[in-house]
Structure 1
Amino acid sequence: MLLDWVTVILLITIGLVLIIVELVFIPGTTLIGILGFVLAGIGIWIGYAALGTTIGHIILGSTVLIAGVAFFYSFRTDAWSRFALNDQMKNRVNDEHPHTLQIGETGVTVSALRPQGTGLFNDQQHEVQTKGEFLAPNTQIRIISLNHNKITVEEVS
């Protein structure tokens, strides 16, 4: 009888922990969440089979109540926020070194532009793009538009 209680409590506890892990750490429905539901269900089923219908109802109700309270308080008290990724990337291309380029300046491609790549202007490399053309490395290019840090170029004919 004691072994039945230990088995039921362990299965339900492990199942609930796996479900919480699924909700917090692993997004989507994966094997961990399904395994958690299966283990909790087996624990409840063993409770009904080995301990009787009345005890099975108590185990089922307790499991649902404990799971609901645990989910409610764990998300309400923000207990999981220390595990969340809070860092944000705020840098953008060419933000570190603002350019002093002008429309009409000429340079050379360092990498192939397909249609984006690297161009060399005034001994400084910049991320540039074409209007869809593909340019090989070491091709002479000219700036045709500047929009914030977006540099659009074309091949010098």
Structure 2
Amino acid sequence: MSVLILSSLLGIGLILLLAEVLFIPGTTVVGVFGLVISLAGIAYAFLTFSSDVAWWITSGAVVLNMAAIIYGFRSGVWDKFSLKSSLKGGTYDDRLANLQVGMMGKAISDIKPYGKAMFQDEIYEVKSESGFIPVDSEVTVMRIEDNRVLVK
């Protein structure tokens, strides 16, 4: 019966450690719990068996647990969780390159203070400097700051 209890403790600890490494990396709760159960199995081995047998069981458990950790790192599971690309966008990405200060356009929605306006057959989101501007009104580009078009 003691061999069954010992193998259950060590097996559950190993399974939890493998689950931490392979399936749910980064949480550490499952891995720590698996390590605690493995240590409980080792302590049980020292309480139940002779010292020589307990040291053999300990070394076997350590080898199996280390093999599980090494396998987890070499299996490529961590590659699924790592970022391999980077964003290349920026705050100013030439969306407003065709606009110039002083251009005339037409409001295609109410601008209160944000809305849409058309300049040279292209629609832009604009902000009003002078409050509410009704739809179909003529608007003029007053300033272009970052990605905002200020109209009047």
TM-score tier, shorter chain, comes to: 0.5 to 0.7
Residue number in structure 2 paired with 1:144? 144
| 1:52-80 superposed Cα distances (whole Å, 9 cap, x missing partner) | 221111111111111222222332242x2
Number of residue pairs aligned between Structure 1 and Structure 2? 137
Distance of aligned partners of 1:93 and 1:11 in 2 relative to their CA distance in 1, 3 Å threshold:
same
In 1, Cα distance between equivalents of 2:84 and 2:110: 33
Runs of 4+ that moved beyond 6 A: 106-113, 135-141
Q: Percent identity?
A: 17
Which structure 2 residues correspond to residues 71-90 of structure 1 after superposition, within 5 A?
A: 71-78=69-76, 80=77, 84=81
Shift of the alpha carbon at 1:47?
1.1
Larger Rg: 2
> Partner of 1:38: helix, strand, or coil?
helix
TM-score (norm 1): 0.58
Q: What RMSD over aligned residues (CA atoms) do the two structures have, in Å?
A: 4.3
Cα distance in 1 for residues equivalent to 2:132 and 2:90: 20
Query: 2:6 touches 2:41 (CA, 8 Å); kept in 1?
Result: yes
Report SS of the residue matched to 2:99: coil
8 Å contact from structure 1 (residues 16, 67) kept in 2: yes
Contact 2:14–2:64 (8 Å) recurs in 1: no
Stretches of structure 2 that go unaligned for 5 or more consecutive residues are none
Long gaps (5+) in structure 1: 130-134
Q: What TM-score comes out, normalization by structure 2 length?
A: 0.60
